[in-house]
Chains A and B, each alone.
Chain A
Amino acid sequence: MDVTADANPRFDLSSALSLVKSIYSLVIVLVLWEAVAQLGLIHYYFLPPLSDIIMRFVELTLNGQMLYNAYLTLMRAMVGLAIASVFGVLVGVLSAQNDLVDWFFDPIIKIGYPVPIISLIPVFMLWFGIGDISKIIMVAVGTFWPVAINARDSTRQVETKLLWSAKMMGTSDRRLLWRVVMPAAMPGILTGFQIAMPLSLIITFVFEMVAGGGGLGALEIAGVRSFESTQVYAAIIAIMLIGIALDRLLRMARGRLLHWT
C-alpha cells in the first residue's frame, strides 16, 4: 500500500484487472450508498443519494459559488503558507548556522510547536478580525513551525564532509551556504512544506467554519445550518479534490527539484 502512489493504468487486460482489484471495494460502497439512499433506508438528511450530491455539486459550480469559495480558501491557505515558508526557512537555516539565533529560537520553537494552533483562532479573531487578513496571518503563524523545524534540522544534518570538500576546493565560508548547504538541505526543507500544506488547509477550514466569511469551510457549515446536506457533501468532495490536487502538485514539484535523490 502506498497512499501516495499514482495509479496510471495503461489499457490492457492485466492492468485493467489490477485496477478493478484496487478499487472494487470503493465501487461496492458507492453502489451500496446510492441504493440505500434511493431506497430510503437511511433518512435523506443523513445520507442523500450520490446522484443528488453530484447534482448539487454541479449546481454550485454552475452558479459560481463553488469556484468562488474554493478560491477564497485556497488564496488564504496558500498566501499564509508562502509567508510562513519564507520566514520559516530563514529562521530555520539561521538557527542551524548561528548559535545565538538558535539559543533564542529553540525554546520558542519547543513551546510553540505543541500548542494546538487551532486553539488560537479566537485570539486571532480578537486581534485581526474575521476577514481574509486574519485567516492569512493565522495560517502563516500556524505553518511557520513545521517549516522552521525541518529547515533547521535538515541544515544541521548536512554532512560535514560535503562542507569540507567544498572548502578544500576553494569555497569561502560565506559562499558555503548557497553552494552546498541549501542544496543539501533541500529534501528536508521540502518535507517541511509537505507537512505544512495540509495544516494550512486545516487552519483555513476551521477558521471559516467558526468565523464565516466565505470559503469552503463556511460553505460546508452553511449546509448544516440550512439543512441542506447535499451541500455539505458537495463541499467535502470539493475539499477532497483540492487536497488531492495540491498533494499531487507538491509531489511533482518535489520530484523535479529533487530529481537527484
Chain B
Amino acid sequence: MGYATSRHIEGLPAPLQRVAGALVDWIPLAIVVVLWDLISGAVVATAILPAPGTVAGKIVELFVTGQVFSHLYISLFRVVVGLGLSIIAGILLGIGMARSDPVENFFDVFLAMTYPIPKTALVPLAILWLGVGTSTAILIVFLACLLPIVLNSYNAAGNVDQNLIWSAEMMGTEGRDVLLKVIFPATIPEILTGIRQAVPIAFVALVSAELIASNQGMGYLILTSGQIGNYPRMFANIVVISAVAFVAVRLFEEVRERWLVWT
C-alpha cells in the first residue's frame, strides 16, 4: 500500500491496524468485482460476462457435485510429474554441465537451440508421438520447465565459493562427496529460485497442452464449457485453475522460506 495510507493506519490503535491493513489491500479488488457485477448484464450480455455471483455459485457447484475433481486431479498430477521430472533432470544436467567440461560441450548446443523455441510450439509434435492425453501434457510441462532449472542450477554450481570447496577438502572430503556435501547444498538457494520461476511456467504449459491435446483436465474443461456455451462454468473453471496456480506459487515460496532458514 502507499506511504500515505500506511501512515494513516499507523495512527490507529494496534489491533485495528492489521484489520485495516488487510482491508485496504483488498479494496481495489473489491472495486474490480463491483465493476464486474455492474457491467455484467447491464453493459454486456450475461452470456458473455456472467455476474460474479453466478460464477461463484458455479464454483461451489463444481466442488459440491464433484464434477471438477477428476479433472483437477489429472491436471495436478500432470503438473507435479512434469515439474518433478524436470527438476531432477534439470538439476543433474545443470550441475553436471557446470562441473564437467565434456558434459557441457555435449549438451550446450542443444540447449542453445531449444532456448528460442517456446515449448508449447512442440505440442503438435508431442501429439504425433504420444497422442492425445496425459503423457503429452507431462512431456510439454517437462520440456517447458527444464530450461529455467538447468540455467539456475548451472549458474549456481558454477559460482560456488572455491573457499568452501577447499575447506571441505582440507577436512577430508574427497571427489564425489564434494559434489554431494558441498556443491549441491551451496546451490540449493539458486535452484529453488529456478523452480520458483518454473512453477507458473508449468501451469501455462499444462493448460496449453490441455487446450490442444487432451480429453481431460482443467484446460479441456475450460475449452469444452466454452464450446457448449456454458459460460458460467467456463469462467468458474478458469478461476479454479488460476487459484490453484496462485496457491502453488505461494506454497512453494513458503516452503522455500522454511527451507532456506539458513540464508
B118 interface hit (Cβ, 8 Å): yes
> Assuming the A-B contacts A116-B207, A119-B241, A201-B118, are A224 and B128 also in contact, with contact meaning beta carbons closer than 8 angstroms in the complex?
yes
**Given A106-B28, A236-B125: A119 in contact with B2 (beta carbons within 8 A):** no
**A3:B127 contact, CB within 8 angstroms:** no
Q: A111-B29, A122-B225, A217-B121 are in contact. Are A3 and B212 (CB under 8 A)?
A: no
Contact with A along B203-246 (1 / 0, CB 8 A): 11011100110000011001101110001001100100110011
Interfacial residues of chain A within 95-142, with CB under 8 A of chain B in the complex: 99-100, 102-108, 111, 113-123, 125-127
Chain A residue at minimal CB-CB distance from B203: A116
Given A26-B109, A223-B124, A99 and B5 touching (CB < 8 A)? Answer: yes
Max chain B Cβ within 10 angstroms of own Cβ: one of A111, A118, A119, A120: A119
B234 pairs with A1, CB closer than 8 A: no
- Residues on the A chain within 8 Å of B115, using CB: 3-4, 243, 247
- Asked if residues A22 and B105 are in contact (CB atoms below 8 Å), the reply is yes
- The answer to whether the Cβ of B174 comes within 8 Å of any Cβ in the partner chain is no
Kindly state the separation between the CA atoms of A202 and B226 in the bound complex, as whole angstroms: 21
Q: How far is the CB of A46 from chain B (nearest CB, A)?
A: 6
Q: Which residues of B contact A114 (CB under 8 A)?
A: 200, 203, 242, 245-246, 249
For residue A235, which residues in chain B have a CB less than 8 angstroms away from its CB? Answer: 124
The reply to whether B212 and A210 contact each other, CB–CB distance below 8 Å, is yes
| Beta-carbon contact of A233 and B109 below 8 Å | no
A103-B28, A232-B124 given; A3·B200 CB < 8 A: no
Q: Kindly report which residue of chain A lies nearest to residue B206, judged by CB atoms.
A: A116
Q: Which residue of A lies closest to B125 (CB)?
A: A232
Given contacts A25-B105, A100-B2, A103-B2, contact A119 B121 (CB under 8 A): no
- Please give the distance in Å from A197's CB to the nearest CB on chain B: 10
Asked if A107 contacts B25 (CB within 8 A), the reply is yes
Residues on B lying within 8 angstroms of A by beta carbon are 1-5, 24-26, 28-29, 31-32, 48, 97-98, 104-113, 115-118, 120-125, 127-129, 147, 151, 154, 200, 203-204, 206-208, 211-212, 218-219, 222-223, 225-227, 231, 234-235, 238, 241-242, 245-246, 249
The 23 sampled A-B contact pairs (Cβ below 8 Å) are A1-B154, A3-B151, A25-B107, A111-B29, A111-B246, A113-B200, A114-B200, A114-B203, A115-B246, A116-B203, A116-B204, A118-B120, A119-B241, A120-B238, A126-B48, A126-B231, A198-B116, A202-B208, A221-B124, A223-B124, A232-B125, A235-B124, A236-B121
